[in-house]
Chain A
Amino acid sequence: NAGVTQTPKFRVLKTGQSMTLLCAQDMNHEYMYWYRQDPGMGLRLIHYSVGEGTTAKGEVPDGYNVSRLKKQNFLLGLESAAPSQTSVYFCASSYSRVDEQYFGPGTRLTVT
């Protein structure tokens, strides 16, 4: 039981490049989330999903897109990376909206 895994762990992008972060969970959770963590800003919700095939905007969705084609996977895409998207990205999942959230190890992204 691996829990929540994220790939890649580190990535450096140039401004304007695109990339996709992959989150996978093996706990059969319905809900999945993408957060970013920045110094002084704490953790902020980017997008979330309440089940396979669904997505919804969080607090800071601009510049990101997501997809949940399979229940166990939640993808976060950056179409045209900007330096402001330099951050640590965390994926999380939960069984329901009131259950505890389990977090992945994070992806450190630098955009130059």
Chain B
Amino acid sequence: KQEVTQIPAALSVPEGENLVLNCSFTDSAIYNLQWFRQDPGKGLTSLLLIQSSQREQTSGRLNASLDKSSGRSTLYIAASQPGDSATYLCAVRSGVQGAQKLVFGQGTRLTINP
């Protein structure tokens, strides 16, 4: 059974710092991995999608990497801003054909202090 873990559960850093959020998964047979952002009381916003054949994806100040063999992904946020404060979730898509699903981690609650 696929399990996704995100460490740390919470992170607080001063504005301007570069930071890395971690995601690990137990079964390396994944189709893709998706990073989301969730603001309090809101839905999930998709940030980046990495297919299993890719090593990384970039969008603005965000860079996500994927190492399938070690079961790890990282989300790098450059020059953090207070507006980046949110919970970040990673999710992996895995399972047999016709029964695939997204399995979510518990998230990392990020606070950027001005």
Contacts and interface: CB of A to CB of B under 8 A. Distances in A.
A56 B105 CA distance: 23
A58 B103 CA distance: 11
Contacts, number: 48
Interface of B is mostly: strand
**Interface residue range, chain A:** 20 to 34
Contact of B106 (A42, A56, A100): A42
A74 interface: no
A62 interface: no
Given A97-B31, A98-B31, A103 B43 contact: yes
Interface string A38-54: 00101111001000000
Contacts of B93: 97-98
B58 to A, nearest CB: 15
A65 B113 CA distance: 44
A90 B44 contact: yes
Contacts of B23: none
Given A58-B101, A99-B49, 18 more contacts: A4-B43, A33-B102, A42-B106, A43-B89, A43-B91, A59-B101, A97-B31, A97-B100, A98-B32, A98-B93, A100-B46, A101-B34, A101-B102, A102-B46, A103-B45, A103-B46, A104-B43, A106-B42
